[in-house]
Amino acid sequence: MSEQSFIHKPVLLHECIEGLNIRPEGIYLDGTLGRAGHSREIARRLTAGRLICVDRDQAALDAARERLAPWMEKVTLVHSNFSELDAILDGLGLDGVDGMLFDLGVSSPQLDDPSRGFSYMADAPLDMRMDKTDTLTARTVVNEWPQEELRRILWQYGEERYAPAIAGAIVRARDKGPIETTLQLVDVIRSAMPASALREKQHPAKRSFQAIRIAVNDELSSVDRMVRAAVPRLNPGGRLAVISFHSLEDRIVKNALAEFAKGCTCPPDFPVCVCGKKPQIKLINKKPIVSGAEELEENPRARSAKLRIAEKL
């Protein structure tokens, strides 16, 4: 892949870098390396510091060697899922770090590479794995999961109002023979939707593809595990910045951070605290930070981005 095709603006870049409050000698972790846009800006601010770059997609790590070439002596690349944060830091012999960034958007190269099977616009085998070493693929979900489970993920992860009809259509189609490719699946989804829905501006398969991708990559429980592992591994004064693109992800991040910020879990009618739990973080922004007009004009993909920042007490 040429450097030219790599030119892209990371979402909420200025806000993330400002939010991380980078110390030149600190240790930082970018848990979603992707195209290394955020990582470059962190790395160039470090003197004696260190940057750990994590991605579950080996292709992202391979490309990062070129993108981060000027700073590689300060960078450690790790092939792993960010939900394995404790194991990653333990493996590097680190008790804590001074800042962590997680950009939960699907990396553009994955979406833009038709062969990965994420796109409903190009024909490809049904795959959708962010980490090609994982065993669960979209083909398995579509052809083997029970109808009720398909309906649940389409409704819950895709917020697809025609989930029952689409799940039924998938099961009827696969009874005749396996659904092997993305465009085969698109045809099945279209067949289950009323004409009025097919005329909407949004592609009819968008929500279903999103739902299947989230299920294949176990994205939501990975986010919850990540936040719950990240807060305890921040050094005092360290910052956690998380960008989400989906209301379900944002809710998980918001609720987990609120729990860490609250501390006491005693029932409200207790006259004094008996649990002894103290707040572990303070929320830097009560409301999520969103993209301004200028960024939205340059990068329409930033429209649904929400950034939440917390500081370790």
pLDDT level of residue 300 (50, 70, 90 thresholds)? confident
pLDDT digits (tens, 9 = 90+) for 42-59: 999 999 999 999 999 999
Look at residue 8 in the predicted model and tell me its pLDDT. Answer: 60
Packed helices 147-156 and 206-216: angle between N→C axes, nearest 10 degrees: 110
- How many beta carbons lie within 10 A of that of residue 120, not counting itself? 18
Mean pLDDT of the chain: 94
Amino acid 44 reads R
CA 41 to each of CA 28, 33, 96, 111: distance values in angstroms, whole numbers, following the listed order: 12, 12, 21, 23
Look at residue 301 in the predicted model and tell me its pLDDT. Answer: 82
pLDDT digits (tens, 9 = 90+) for 186-207: 999 999 999 999 999 999 999 9
Q: What percent of the chain has pLDDT over 70?
A: 97
Q: How many CA atoms lie within 13 A of 130 on its CB side?
A: 27
Look at residue 224 in the predicted model and tell me its pLDDT. Answer: 95
pLDDT digits (tens, 9 = 90+) for 67-101: 999 999 999 999 999 999 999 999 999 999 999 99
